[in-house]
Amino acid sequence: MKENRIYNFNAGPAALPFEVLEEIKDSFLNYAGSGMSITEISHRSKWFDDVINDAVTRTERLLNLDDRYRVLFVQGGASLQFSMIPMNLLHEGDTADYVNTGSWSTKAIKEAQIQGKTINVVASSEDDDFSYIPKNIIFNRDAVYAHITSNNTIRGTQWPSFPDTGGVPLIADMSSDILSRPFDIDTFGLIYAGAQKNMGPAGVCMVIIRKDLLEKVPDTLPSMLKYTTYSSKNSMYNTPPCFAIYTVQLVLKWLEENIGGLEKMEEINRQKARLLYNVIDSSDFFTGTAETESRSMMNITFRLPEEDLDKLFVEQANENGFDGLKGHRSVGGCRASIYNATPVEAIEALVDFMKNFEKKNG
């Protein structure tokens, strides 16, 4: 553990790579020789232009995006995307498919319905407390898009592979697992991710959109709610969240230069998740709450034999330098969020703590 630092298992805002925090610290008062902080420079300056362009280029490289796609930075979090997607892409006479795998999917569905859009919930795991990812889903061939949540931050489930939509553009909320593993972009029409889980600080949401979908955006929408505004102005129609985008740029650089890309990142993430699931699987004291096949590599959800023990576990973990292990308030239990930036060392320390806790209380 680094001096004055603890092991951070928060779900979001979440841990950032230590190397990134150090780089921010070093350049904070004098960014790139400008004599100004990154929080003080103009978004119209060459300095910031380089930041945002580098962030876009690195995203394209890491995700293997070709020129069919545009990378945008939007404020309003992933939650605004729940509204912007149907607003921009789903029109009179159109329908879209949604898969409901938890609270975030439910919210995405609600925001489309609020606008009076026609959508079909083609599959849901609500029948079993959102503990699994539905299989063999039949999508409507005439849907304008099919929406999924790739990783369910609260329930601890994750799509092991992406569904075959039969050519319907897939839209995924990847807020809590973007850049955690490689995937094939071809089936996707749009991907969005709030930065504060796996990519940076709060305040910016990355949107990757296939250019042909931009043609669906109605002129009549307010400028700030149109994807075309962001794509035609390099995400700088108004003042963007400069510091958040700068941090995202550094995280992307860290992924490329320190980790070595997404194949390598996935390998590390699998190793990290395995360490924790091994403890859960080899004990009667800890019980995983997600079905084995649908388990998340990012959010490991589990329970102890009694609610009082969940509480004691979180309390004692806190006293021992582990933060963020309390499950989401809507589901209870415990949750360890182990995004890209969580080092293996933090997980090994948690594993030791869990084993000791079981010995004392099991």
Ligand X SMILES: *Cc1c(COP(=O)(O)O)cnc(C)c1O
The site for ligand X (CB under 6 A) is made up of: 12, 77-79, 104, 149, 153, 173, 175-176, 194, 197
- 47, 97, 104, 326: the catalytic one is 104
Nearest to 338 by CA among 283, 277, 262, 253: 277
**Is-catalytic flag, 159?**
no
State in angstroms the smallest separation of the CB of 197 from ligand X. Answer: 6
Nearest to 354 by CA among 339, 334, 329: 334
State in angstroms the smallest separation of the CB of 3 from ligand X. Answer: 30
Q: Smaller CB distance to ligand X: residue 71 or 309?
A: 71
**Is-catalytic flag, 184?**
no
216-234 CB burial, b ≥16 within 10 A, e <16: bbeeeeeeebbbbbbbeeb
**Is-catalytic flag, 173?**
yes
d(CA 76, CA 299): 23
d(CA 263, CA 24): 26
- Helix, strand, coil proportions of the chain in percent (round to 5)? 40, 15, 40
d(CA 125, CA 111): 19
Q: Smaller CB distance to ligand X: residue 311 or 328?
A: 328
d(CA 203, CA 97): 28
Q: Smaller CB distance to ligand X: residue 97 or 173?
A: 173
Residues 288 and 302 sit within 8 Å (Cβ to Cβ): yes
Q: Smaller CB distance to ligand X: residue 13 or 321?
A: 13
- 97, 173, 177, 310: the catalytic one is 173
Position closest to ligand X via CB: 77
State in angstroms the smallest separation of the CB of 306 from ligand X. Answer: 28
- 117, 197, 272, 326: the catalytic one is 197
Which residues belong to the active site? 104, 173, 197
